[in-house]
Homo-oligomer: A and B are copies of this chain.
Amino acid sequence: MVVSGPSGSGKTTLCRQLEAMGEAVHSVSCTTRKPRPGEVHGKDYFFFSEAEFMEKAAQGEFFEQARVHGNLYGTLKSYVTENLERGVDVVMDIDVQGAAQVRACDDALIRRCHVDVFVSPHDLADLKERLSNRGTESGESLELRMKNALIEIAHWPEYQYTLVSGSRASDLERFRAILLAERMRVARLG
């Protein structure tokens, strides 16, 4: 299950909560961006140098990769397929470019299991508040981050589901509902 959404949309929290409930594992992405205070290698991200990342990319180890705000992000192919083969669902918190790569993936197992969800703020005021609360990391102005978020949000129609944020409890319930429902889809059982 691929999850995208603008910065501050709460998508990462949703993925972690689903993992905490034992419903899925939250795929740990690789990145070249610097760790934020408190972030742990192997838990929040695998932090790599640009050289290390490019070497893995050259060996085709990434399922998807993207450059966002100047930093590289990617998901290790082996991480996803090993879990799926064991019957464990994987939630991946990736941006719209990465999501498009997963959508185009021709691996049979991935295609059969694939679901994608766009988590969207409720409205512009909500987006602005969310971005303000998450302002410090990139050094970009609120205006630029608003602009980037709106460019991202324009991609929602490419996703199978769109979850418009409400309360935290409702967001988690609806996010989990997508996973529960998709497990019952006949097209996936064939």
Stretch at the interface among A59-67, A89-97, A100-108, A172-180: A172-180
- Tallying the copies of this chain within the complex gives 2
CA distance A161 to B178 in the complex (A): 12
Interface residues in A160-178 (C-beta closer than 8 Å to B): 160-163, 173-174, 176-178
Q: Does A157 contact B (CB under 8 A)?
A: yes
Question: Are A161 and B186 in contact, CB atoms less than 8 angstroms apart?
Answer: yes
Chain B residues whose C-beta falls within 8 Å of the C-beta of A160 in the assembled complex: 185-187
Which of B159, B174, B176, B177 is close to A186, meaning CB atoms less than 8 Å apart?
A: B159
- Contact partners of A174 in chain B: CB under 8 A: 180-181, 184
- A sample of 18 more A-B contacts (CB under 8 A), given A174-B180, A174-B181, A178-B184, is A117-B184, A118-B186, A156-B186, A159-B186, A160-B185, A160-B187, A161-B181, A161-B184, A162-B184, A162-B186, A162-B189, A163-B184, A176-B177, A177-B177, A177-B178, A177-B181, A178-B180, A181-B181
- A residues with a Cβ closer than 8 A to B are 117-118, 156-157, 159-163, 173-174, 176-178, 180-182, 184-187, 189-190
